[in-house]
Amino acid sequence: MSGEHLAGRPDHDVVAASTAAERVPISLDVGLGDIRAYPPGSYTDIVILRLAGQSAATIIKAIEDLASLAEPESLAGAVAVVQRGVLRIRHP
């Protein structure tokens, strides 16, 4: 959400802004995967990338994995975690 001036903002601000804009945050911040803080169904969706490295190539590969592993509709309201080519989805 570049241009939204959310860099460095608390996670709940990012999730609230994403939900209001009907966007899906894709983050390296595993804190967003805490379903106690962000229960599935209480926002649009959240996608967490749990990666060994954070290079552009690694992030692009993880997003490609996500695209090949799930239809966008299957992520509605869910917390999805992509890790080493595996997708875990927690639905509402």
Where do the structural domains in the chain lie, given as residue ranges?
A: 11-90
Q: Residue 50 above 90 pLDDT?
A: yes
Run of H or E including 67: helix 56-69
Which pairs with CB-CB distance under 8 Å and at least 24 residues apart come from 8-14? 11/37, 11/38, 12/37
Over range 40-56, report the average pLDDT.
Answer: 89
Placement of tokens 């509709």 in the chain = 73
Q: Residue 4 above 80 pLDDT?
A: no
SS3 42: coil
Per-residue confidence band for 2, with pLDDT thresholds at 50, 70 and 90: low
Q: List strand residue ranges (DSSP E) for 38-78, in order.
A: 46-49
Q: Residue 76 above 60 pLDDT?
A: yes
Q: Residue 79 above 70 pLDDT?
A: yes
Placement of tokens 């805490």 in the chain = 34
| Phi, psi dihedrals of residue 48, rounded to the nearest 5° | -110, 130
Run of H or E including 81: strand 79-83
